[in-house]
Amino acid sequence: MPKAKKDPAANNADGGEVDAHAAAAAATAAANKQLKKMGKLPKDKLTEQASTVISFVQNADSGVQSLAVTVLSKLEPASLDAYAKEIASLVEHRDAGVRQAAVEAAGLITPEALASQSKFIGDRLHSHHAGVREAAVRALAKLPGEMLDLHAGPILVRLEDEDGDVRVAAKAAIELMAYEVLEPYADRILKRLQASYGARATKQRAAMERSAEAHAMLMVVLATMPEKQRERTNANSAVLAESVAEYAAPNHSSRMFVTR
């Protein structure tokens, strides 16, 4: 039985597809090589090459985009401000690595420029990717006090994040907030704290460790309340009362909230 002849057109199509993939891979490798080289430049020289770096931000390869933003982040904040919009456009990128790089870069621009992009950054507090959430908290913590205060609620929620680095970042951000801003959340904080204590007997050890930093920080918030406000919260748990008293002690190192 004669063998079926191969279609030359099909061979050309297959060959063309292979060539296209090879060309794309080569272009990606070249872009990465160029970006890594520029990333080693002194800041003044990098500033001169910033327009070239920013051209890679819209590259089809997410790895190239992420690297481009990382290299761009090495600019001085004042120079980085010029690219604030381009950076903000990537905080909702489909790739988590690009989103994280963009949010981290946003945290390096000047507070004034960051303020204009804060809504986009704040939305990343709810990301499914822990690295993005952490970067968002740390970026928002660079905002001027009044602007940071606007994000108090979502940042408070991150005190109980499943990721330890996010919890640490949230704790640091809350230390910069005024008590007057946190006061409206006092009842909600207390209920969450009491619920956590009530569940400690049934939760697994890992779960308790995960929320340990949140417990400590929530107690600090309670300790800063005026006495009458604390009485109104009906803190009837003996363990909780002892903890609050400890954190309310004069000159306690955790009394760090800002008064504005």
Cα–Cα distance, 172 to 169 (Å, whole number): 5
The strand pairing partners of 258, in sequence order, are 178
At 124 the pLDDT is 92
Residue 249 has pLDDT above 60, yes or no: no
Establish if 52 belongs to a structural domain.
no
Establish if 16 belongs to a structural domain.
no
More confident: 185 or 197? 185
Q: 36-59: per-residue pLDDT in tens?
A: 999 999 999 999 999 999 999 888
Banded model confidence at residue 235, pLDDT cuts 50, 70, 90: very low
Residue 206 has pLDDT above 70, yes or no: no
Residue 102 has pLDDT above 80, yes or no: yes
At 218 the pLDDT is 59
Q: Are residues 168 and 193 part of one domain?
A: no
Which residues span the domain enclosing 236?
178-260
Residue 74 has pLDDT above 60, yes or no: yes
Q: Are residues 191 and 106 part of one domain?
A: no
Domain end residue (candidates: 174, 206, 230):
174
CA-closest candidate to residue 252, choices 220, 211, 218, 217: 220
Q: Are residues 254 and 219 part of one domain?
A: yes
Report, as an integer, the average pLDDT of 173-186.
78
Cα–Cα distance, 37 to 32 (Å, whole number): 9
Establish if 21 belongs to a structural domain.
no
At 122 the pLDDT is 92
Task: Please state, for a pLDDT cut of 90, what percent of the chain lies above it.
Answer: 36
Residue 133 has pLDDT above 90, yes or no: yes
Report, as an integer, the average pLDDT of 192-204.
53
Count the alpha carbons within 13 Å of 21 in the hemisphere toward its beta carbon. Answer: 6
Q: Which CATH number fits the domain that encloses residue 141?
A: 1.25.10.10
More confident: 119 or 10? 119
Report, as an integer, the average pLDDT of 169-173.
88
More confident: 54 or 250? 54
